[in-house]
Amino acid sequence: MLAWEVVFWLCVALLAYAQLGYPLVLAALARARRARVAAVAPAPAQPPDVSLVVAAYDEEAVIARKVADALALDYPRERLQVVVASDGSSDATVQEACRAGADLVLDLPRGGKIRAQDAAVAASRGEIVAFSDANSTWEPDALARLVAAFADPGVGYACGQVTFVSGGAGATNQEGLYWRYEMALRALESRLGSITAGNGAIYATRHASYIEVDPIMGHDLSFPFNMVKRGWRAVYVPQARATEKMVPSIEGEFARKRRMMSHTWPIVLRGGLLSPRGYPPLYALMIASHRVLRYGAPFLHLGALAASFVLGASSTFYAVALALQLAVVVAALLARVVPLRPLLVARYYVLTTASVAAGLWDWLRHGTPAGWEPAEGTR
């Protein structure tokens, strides 16, 4: 029984640390040492040339609006190049992008988002290369604020703040709640050094720091830690804001995160994230806390549940612990028929945690395709 008690307390302690302890550790470190600011140098007299890349697959419904959004940014037009890279689109994405006034439109064979971005970077002229999803809307000053981070010569990557807006009446997804928590963590990480992950809606790199990665490995996770390994900082710029429509349902969010995790696990297990080589000690702690433990959460939950089941027969404490865990699962199931906010939050947590394990299963079973499809309900 002692072994099961060790399993229970180890799993619970790691889960509590990953979700609650880690933010407290970051906050304490931020208070204890002088905060680092993303842009520490004055802005140059002339803003740098920027290429804004939008990789698109069958985005005819939104690509013209995205190009218009890019052209309306508060950035010198002569220093902005808008590039649309169509990843083998079967619809009128290319024609719509040209008609909307994109400076460069690449009609590429289907190879996946990463290879489309690689081709766009190779063809771009900007000193800074910014990236956006086709369905993201940027605030007018977002690009200027994002680019300002590169006034610090040590910054190789910067991501902005994305706000997920409701999918409409009847939407159940609780992604906005999670994302506010996630952005608070990234703000603290950035102040202390570098972030451990970015987002696809609004980010940028120097042309010189851009990395070509395996096509199944997205930029969101692979870029920040690889930048750190190469001596750059990866920072978060909350003043650079974008919005994106979230998947309407929690079930749709589960499917989206399951697909994302099938791209994430190759980065974790064979893409170099677990190797501490090149990490400063504090950043190694961030990776272990924010990434490794986060992805281990479903297995830690299963360990705690199994230990509670075994120990609950002879201990009131562990029987109560088992009942509480099962209550969360029951609340998640009830949310389908009684869509109250606490039940929806429970369902979101259970399904998104399960998506981590489901993504691993998908990758181990049949690999991960480089291509992608827009998430349903986000356009």
Q: How many CB atoms sit inside 10 A of residue 151's CB? A: 15
Q: Which phi and psi angles does 378 have, rounded to 5°?
A: -100, 5
Q: How far apart are the first and last CA of the chain?
A: 53
Asked if 85 contacts 106 with a C-beta cutoff of 8 angstroms, the reply is yes
Q: Which is more confident, 246 or 315?
A: 315
User: pTM for this one?
Assistant: 0.89
In the predicted structure, residue 376 carries a pLDDT above the cut 80: no
What are the pLDDT digits (tens) for 71-126? Answer: 999 999 999 999 999 999 999 999 999 999 999 999 999 999 999 999 999 999 99
Spatial distance between the Cα atoms of 245 and 326, rounded to a whole number of angstroms:
32
Predicted pLDDT at 38: 42
Asked if 307 contacts 11 with a C-beta cutoff of 8 angstroms, the reply is yes
Give me the mean pLDDT over the 355-368 stretch.
Answer: 94
What are the pLDDT digits (tens) for 156-181? Answer: 999 999 988 875 656 677 777 888 89
Asked if 176 contacts 267 with a C-beta cutoff of 8 angstroms, the reply is no
Instruction: Output DSSP code: residue 313.
Output: T
Spatial distance between the Cα atoms of 57 and 104, rounded to a whole number of angstroms:
16
What is the bridge-based pairing of β-strands 136-138 and 128-132? unpaired
Predicted pLDDT at 369: 81
Where does 50-249 sit in CATH, by number?
Answer: 3.90.550.10
Run of H or E including 267: helix 250-270
What are the pLDDT digits (tens) for 24-55? Answer: 999 999 888 764 544 445 556 689 999 999 99
Spatial distance between the Cα atoms of 229 and 20, rounded to a whole number of angstroms:
27
In the chain, the percentage of residues whose pLDDT exceeds 90 is: 81
Q: What is 86-117 written as a DSSP string? A: EES-SSSHHHHHHHHT-SEEEEEPS--HHHHH
Of residues 306, 341, 379, 326, the one with CA closest to residue 60: 379
Spatial distance between the Cα atoms of 280 and 7, rounded to a whole number of angstroms:
30
Least confident of 115-124, 132-141, 198-207, 243-252: 243-252
In the predicted structure, residue 225 carries a pLDDT above the cut 60: yes
Residue type (1 letter), 100 = A
Q: What's the pLDDT band for 202 if we cut at 50, 70, 90?
A: very high
In the predicted structure, residue 342 carries a pLDDT above the cut 50: yes
Of residues 114, 190, 113, 103, the one with CA closest to residue 154: 190
Average pLDDT, the chain: 92
Please report where in the chains the tokens 């120097």 appear, as a residue: 206
Predicted pLDDT at 168: 60
